[in-house]
Structure 1
Amino acid sequence: MTETRPPSPNSLAALGWSKGFEDQVTPDETALAPMRIATVHRSRVTAFSPSGAVKLNLPAHASTTDFAVGDWVLVDPETDTVSRRLERKSLLRRRTEGTRAPQLIAANIDTLFIVTSCNADFNPARLERYLALANEAGTTPVILLTKADMAKDAASYQSRAAALQRGLAVVTLNAKDPEAATALAPWCAPGQTVALVGSSGVGKSTLLNTLAAKDDAAAQPTSGIREDDAKGRHTTTSRSLHAVKGGGLAIDTPGMRSLHVSDVGAGLDTLFAEIAELAPECRFRDCTHAHEPGCAVQAAVAAGTLDPGRLERWRKLDTENRVNTPVATGPRGNKTIKKTRHKR
């Protein structure tokens, strides 16, 4: 596995430190050292500091699962022990099958690069899941279409991707071409942090190597895809923080083929803004937009101003979100968490 290297020049600002984090440090914590989590493994956590990479010691009762790559922590410089984690400005997380707590993907990111290919990997329904997570996390989503140089009609992929959400930036590129770094420079400025997500084999690690101008010894391992179904093997096995051209930082993540949504109600409203804006015009406040009389959403479908495919995908994600999102019930001060039941 390739170890990450701290950015250069080494300073808190180069690592993404900002006034929002500085304001969280109390007077009695000024002797502690701010560090940014660079890797999270099953049994260890490493961080970047202005003086270099540090293997952290966790306090009693803390777990590596409590931390995400990109977190800011205050550390005792004598023992390299984490004192506490600072509040995050953004957090990307996902629900995984068979687990109660969501899996932390990346923290304190400004932009989420959602990477897909101009081939069979391109899946609007899956891209919408990533967009919902990005919206809910408070980060700006950008769709990157790789392998554009190999596609017969890359423009069609770009137009389909741009139609998924209002104001969505979509960039087509060749992940191996140094010009990719120029195309993505607006989101990779000093102090800015991006995260790369997407399926295995779409070129995330290749793109990271291009953005960071890594030599062969430091490069992230990469692999190809099967041409018949455009599926690849996992080459990135853990999340890690890397310096990139322009002074920014990037978080690489393993490929994700399953992505369950929960706690993304606001994210869905942003993603499906055309549906969210019509909903208040429905006759019934709890309209499911399926069969109720006076449904403004169904009227828009009938009039041809709303894509029925978009409505169907919204309904699926909205149902999944309601089922997976726990709600607090019971008297005040004695609430319990229960999952909602979907009403058909």
Structure 2
Amino acid sequence: MTDQTLADLGWTAHFADQLSEDELLYCHPVRVMAVHRGKIAVSGAESQGFVSPYIAGAQPGDDHPTVGDWLLVDNRTQEATRVLRRMNLFKRRSPADPRKDQMIAANVDTVFIVASCNQDFSIARLERYLVLAREVDVHPVIVLTKADLTETPEEFAAAARAIEPGLLVETVDGRDRTDVKRLAAWCGSGKTVAFLGSSGVGKSTLVNALRGSDSIGTQAVRAKDGTGRHTTTVREMHRLDDGGWLLDLPGMRELQLSEAATGLAEVFDDITLLAQECRFADCSHGVEPGCAIQAAIAAGSLAPDRFDRWRKLNAEENGAASRLTKRRTR
């Protein structure tokens, strides 16, 4: 597509205000549409192509471009000169090196957290993705797929809605393009939606339905455990007929949190508020006297499994924050 404008790609005043008059003379902005090994695909006003992922003059430790980023490209050399300041950034701990973070996607307006109405449905996994979304201040929508494969899809939806008040949950049959069209409300012109979810939950099927295309490969789910193989291997943006963009990301079943204290506090605000009522400020919420959380569990107003999930995520986040502090000190 070469007749697009910057606004079609998601350009806003947030990015325009970062350009100096000098940069406007010798550079032009492009958006990262896909990340490949050794190169990135970019699109700009009436142009598209590939550039190197390495920023000219970048210092060690500088951010490399990720899908959804906006770059400035030198008109003469066609090399990227810098990454524009992001609205938000999804990241995780790198599987290859737990001491480092891996960037996932940038400049997202809405995140569709995708789960399936089968035995692979997991409240703990939904909470983990919600913490990530809240931490980077991106609007989340829970999308439950494979509603046609169960007689009780509303039970799955009710369990998801119970995670936090006001949480938006949509239940769809990913193969029914008319049904999936209800998600188009978040996919208007220039808007960017990211898909997060485990392998086999139907993300690629949803993308195909929203695009009106079968160009993205899908694989059958194993009947034994309801899970599937990865069908997305490249992080890339897909254009929708309504003008929006979808980021279909590789499944991240073992997503680990990094610097997510704010997200945890928002998703588990009931526990956060209870903890403030404990008698001791350093309460571990175990056997200490005056623990408001244990009192709530005993009274039946807080489910023990929800507390256990919070405690696990909180310990993970604290560990990540401690490692980050040590790295910065070194």
d(CA) in 2 for partners of 1:203, 1:257: 14
> Could you tell me which residue of structure 1 aligns to residue 118 of structure 2?
119
**Secondary structure of 1:281's partner?**
coil
Shift of 1:226: 0.3
Shift of 1:211: 0.9
Amino acid at match of 1:47: V
Q: 2:55 aligns with which of 51, 56, 59?
A: 59
2:255 is aligned with 1:259: yes
**Secondary structure of 2:276's partner?**
helix
- 1:180 and 1:210 in contact (8 A); partners too: no
Amino acid at match of 1:192: K
d(CA) in 2 for partners of 1:81, 1:270: 41
- 2:240 and 2:246 in contact (8 A); partners too: yes
What is the correspondence of 1:87-106 to structure 2 with a 5 Å cutoff? 87-99=85-97, 100-106=99-105
Of all paired residues, the percent bearing the same amino acid is 45
d(CA) in 2 for partners of 1:229, 1:80: 48
- 1:96 and 1:259 in contact (8 A); partners too: no
2:12 is aligned with 1:18: yes
Amino acid at match of 2:87: K
2:321 is aligned with 1:328: no
Gaps of 5+ in 1: 1-5, 338-344
- 1:55 and 1:80 in contact (8 A); partners too: no
**Secondary structure of 1:184's partner?**
helix
- 2:172 and 2:180 in contact (8 A); partners too: no
- 1:91 and 1:138 in contact (8 A); partners too: no
Q: CA-atom RMSD, angstroms?
A: 2.0
Deviation string, structure 1 residues 227-286 (Cα, Å, up to 9, x no partner): 110111111101101111321111011112211112101000111011111221111112
Q: 2:273 aligns with which of 274, 277, 282?
A: 277
d(CA) in 1 for partners of 2:8, 2:166: 29
Q: 1:248 aligns with which of 240, 244, 249?
A: 244
Amino acid at match of 2:44: S
d(CA) in 1 for partners of 2:29, 2:56: 20
Shift of 1:65: 7.3
Shift of 1:53: 2.0
Deviation string, structure 1 residues 42-61 (Cα, Å, up to 9, x no partner): 21111111223220133346
2:309 is aligned with 1:313: yes
**Secondary structure of 1:328's partner?**
helix
Q: 2:285 aligns with which of 285, 289, 292?
A: 289
What is the correspondence of 1:123-272 to structure 2 with a 5 Å cutoff? 123-214=122-213, 216=214, 219-272=215-268
Amino acid at match of 1:319: A
> Could you tell me which residue of structure 2 aligns to residue 84 of structure 1?
82
> Could you tell me which residue of structure 1 aligns to residue 24 of structure 2?
30
**Secondary structure of 2:302's partner?**
coil
Amino acid at match of 2:254: S
- 1:188 and 1:245 in contact (8 A); partners too: no
> Could you tell me which residue of structure 2 aligns to residue 342 of structure 1?
none
Deviation string, structure 1 residues 170-213 (Cα, Å, up to 9, x no partner): 10001121124421122111121100111111111111111112
- 1:70 and 1:241 in contact (8 A); partners too: yes
- 1:268 and 1:318 in contact (8 A); partners too: yes
Amino acid at match of 2:29: P
**Secondary structure of 1:196's partner?**
strand
Amino acid at match of 1:172: T
Amino acid at match of 1:16: G
d(CA) in 1 for partners of 2:232, 2:163: 27
2:34 is aligned with 1:39: yes
- Which shifted more, 162-171 or 94-103? 94-103
Deviation string, structure 1 residues 155-174 (Cα, Å, up to 9, x no partner): 00000011112221110001
d(CA) in 2 for partners of 1:221, 1:30: 40
> Could you tell me which residue of structure 2 aligns to residue 341 of structure 1?
none
- 1:180 and 1:211 in contact (8 A); partners too: no
Amino acid at match of 1:300: A
Gaps of 5+ in 2: none
Deviation string, structure 1 residues 12-59 (Cα, Å, up to 9, x no partner): 111000011111111211131111101112211111112232201333
d(CA) in 1 for partners of 2:173, 2:63: 34
Call closer, same or farther: CA 1:278–1:222 in 2, change over 3 Å. Answer: same
- Which shifted more, 288-297 or 118-127? 288-297
Amino acid at match of 2:138: T
Deviation string, structure 1 residues 55-107 (Cα, Å, up to 9, x no partner): 01333465997121000111113322101100110111111345122111110
